[in-house]
Structure 1
Amino acid sequence: MDNLDSIMNRTDLITLIQKKGQFSFSRSGGPGGQNVNKVNTKVLLTVALDELAGLDESELLMIREKLSSRLNSSGELFIQLQEERSQLMNRERAVEKMADLILESLIVQKKRRKTRPSRGARQKRLDGKKIQGNKKKNRGSISIDD
């Protein structure tokens, strides 16, 4: 996570999400017995991207581009979590996961350079094809002239 921390401080981002984020809770599905029917453990965390201080316009644009599937109609970033049986644990995990998503979306991908196979690699491939072709050619029926 070292390269992520250099872009924006992760701990500051987590505290900012905790302050500015809107939490809503509902009943979760899955295992948990009677706990599932009684306790609202599923967490929905939404954060308005404009309220995240410390991000400039280009960074906000990158986040909106890369996380477009996680934006609602209001342009808020949302995440839903129901992994744990505890509301508090789900809440903490949602905040951490959102911080990680934001930091990962700010990493600029390196451009891919086109490469070609070397002359030796091409020759090796062609030699292999020749050998395979000769094997197949020699598989014909054997004629015995006695």
Structure 2
Amino acid sequence: MALHCTPSISLDETELEESFVRSSGPGGQNVNKLSTAVQLRFDVRRSPSLPNAVAVRLMKLAGRRLTGDGVLVLVAQQFRTQERNRADARERLAALVAEAAVPPVPRRATRPTLASKKRRLEDKSRRGAIKRGRGDTSGE
């Protein structure tokens, strides 16, 4: 089975590594007995499923969640059950990969219009006149 992120990108189950740890979230009396939090690890750098450009964008998006080895670590402990935390971690990973799969729109340089230049200069002179009126008025 695979984790589908976009129509063209699916992550193989063997690429995901899950471990279950004690959760600090809700759980009542079970909070100290059961390991309901999920720690999902995904090696972005060595993943054959991701195109190189997507992997680079994903590493930028991951921020502090990325280890020095290029492994993305997601911790899910919002819910009381292991299954829901597991599903939450997988959904978050799929959303991150889907966001990284969208290439950024390149910025096209534009020139300011003549009217906008005039407006800017008029605003500057108006602001300068206001400031000139503030200073020492004893010379008048």
TM-score scaled to structure 1, two decimals?
A: 0.67
Task: Tell me the CA shift for residue 129 of structure 1.
Answer: 1.8
Among all aligned residue pairs of Structure 1 and Structure 2, give the percentage whose two residues are the same amino acid: 33
Quickly say closer, same or farther: Cα 1:27–1:117, change in 2 above 3 A: same
Q: Which residue of 2 aligns with 1:65?
A: 56
TM-score scaled to structure 2, two decimals?
A: 0.70
- 1:100 aligned to 95, 101, 113, which one? 95
Q: Distance in 1 between matches of 2:124 and 2:132?
A: 12
CA contact (8 A) 2:26 2:78 kept: no
Quickly say closer, same or farther: Cα 1:137–1:103, change in 2 above 3 A: closer
Map residues 113-132 of structure 1 onto 2, 5 A cutoff: 113-132=108-127
Task: Tell me the CA shift for residue 142 of structure 1.
Answer: 8.6
Task: Tell me the CA shift for residue 134 of structure 1.
Answer: 2.5
Quickly say closer, same or farther: Cα 1:48–1:135, change in 2 above 3 A: closer
Q: Distance in 1 between matches of 2:56 and 2:66?
A: 10
Q: C-alpha root-mean-square deviation of aligned residues, in Å?
A: 3.0
Higher strand share: 2
Q: For structure 2, which runs of at least 5 residues remain unmatched after alignment?
A: none
Q: Equivalent residue of 2:121, what SS?
A: helix
CA contact (8 A) 2:24 2:31 kept: yes
- 2:35 aligned to 14, 32, 40, which one? 40
